[in-house]
Amino acid sequence: MGKHKGLGRLLIAVTFFTCGFFINIAQLLLILVVRPFDKNLSRHLMSYLTYSFYSILVCVAEWYAGTKLHVYIDPEEEKKFFGKEHGLLLMNHTYEIDWLTAWMITDKLGNLGATKAYAKKMLRYVPIMGWVWWMGEFIFLDRNFEKDKIVIKQKLIEVFSNPDPVWLLLNAEGTRFTPAKHELSVKFAKERGLPVLKHHLVPRTKGFTASLPTMRGICPSIYDINLAFKRNAEPKPTMLSQLNGEAVEPYMYIRRVPLDVVPEGEKEAAQWMQDFYVEKDKLLESFHETGSFFKTSGVKAVPEKIFKPRLCSLLNFIGWASFSVGLILYYMITSLLAGNLVGFFTVFSILAGFYGLMEYAVNASKISKSSNYGAKK
């Protein structure tokens, strides 16, 4: 069984990194060849490229691991708005695979390829994944507010000028939730008279309030995502469990909030964000205590929907896996026939490198390895 898991992770690693390498090349060609003549066409095609790359891991989660996403969503709002307009995504940053569940839901709502995020500037230099984000118009920040507020304004205008609906993810907590960071967050809240949250860190409001003036008029909505896993669920919701083919069950409540309800003043908007996170905290408290987001939170209940995996993500994975394995086998066989042992062992070195990169990425995604951002307030 362990050997099968190892082979599965190797196949996923080879497929993921081979796909990413060629996607990077295609993205660069779009920027150099198409974008100077037709920016909108370049962006439209870029969304297909980023979808192809992201859906590799969506396929792993849903088709290979069998992960089933339980979504609570207003059916009327879903039909009218979801995936049809620009939006700012707010999501709790609690689990190792919260980003993967975000990819899963945006895939089902038809927006995966056009989903972007605020991210640390250093990430754009990470080979393959960082380059996909960089060329895909993510907003990279220095975590220096004086510099970042200029970048935010410029990049928001650019991102939301896209004629296709774009969703931009903001993790307002700034870093992933851990008990140590939560303890510091509680201390910070008490010192400054802010609401004490049980399931979130105190939201950092500067990025949000700096974004609001630019977003008004070009981004009509906030999409609030509340993600939870049952506390004692096994296996644990980790990237390793997904790569090992072990199913987990995420529960998600997603709602649309018109941007117009957010007050215009900076202080008022910051207070709105604090109050909003109090309500988000009640949603998670209700889920963990009762198994329902709605029983004790005071939020109106909406129906549960279980989205089936999309066939296109499976076909995309099969296509890239076949291409990747075929390429490797061809090079190995031709190297052997030509007596090129250097070439033959080079292939093994590449395979080992891909596997090592995947293991490194899995290790880096662990909560224990999360950044120290948030340890200081």
Other CB atoms within 10 A of residue 179 CB: 7
Other CB atoms within 10 A of residue 294 CB: 16
| Helices 39-59 & 2-29 angle (0-180, nearest 10) | 180
Which amino acid appears at position 225 of this protein?
I
Q: Which is it for strands 221-228 and 251-258: parallel, antiparallel or unpaired?
A: antiparallel
Alpha-carbon distances of 108 from 71, 83, 215, 277, 305, rounded to whole Å: 11, 9, 25, 26, 11
pLDDT at residue 367 tops 90:
no
Q: Please check whether residue 374 is in contact with residue 185, taking contact to mean a CB–CB distance below 8 angstroms.
A: yes
b or e along 310-331 (b: 16 or more beta carbons within 10 Å of the residue's beta carbon)? beebbebbeebbeebeeebeeb
pLDDT at residue 200 tops 70:
yes
pLDDT at residue 369 tops 70:
no
Per-residue 3-state assignment (H helix, E strand, C coil) for 303-352: CEEECCCCHHHHHHHHHHHHHHHHHHHHHHHHHHHCCCHHHHHHHHHHHH
Q: Whose CA is closest to 177, among 284, 290, 257?
A: 284
Determine the pLDDT at residue 365: 63
Asked whether the whole model's pTM tops 0.85, one would answer: yes
Q: Please check whether residue 160 is in contact with residue 220, taking contact to mean a CB–CB distance below 8 angstroms.
A: no
Average pLDDT score over residue span 95-114: 95
Name the pLDDT band for 215 (thresholds 50, 70, 90). Answer: very high
Alpha-carbon distances of 77 from 66, 154, 187, 208, rounded to whole Å: 28, 30, 38, 24
Average pLDDT score over residue span 171-191: 93
Q: Over pLDDT 90: what percentage of the chain?
A: 77
Torsions phi, psi for 373 (to 5 deg): -65, 125
CA 4 to chain CA centroid, Å, is 28
Is 344 exposed, middle or buried, given 0-12, 13-18 or 19+ CB atoms closer than 10 A? middle
In angstroms, what is the C-alpha Rg of the chain? Answer: 21
Determine the pLDDT at residue 3: 56
pLDDT tens profile 270-321: 999 999 999 999 999 999 999 999 999 999 999 999 999 999 999 999 999 9
Dist. CA 247–CA 241, nearest whole Å: 7
pLDDT at residue 23 tops 60:
yes
Average pLDDT score over residue span 65-75: 96
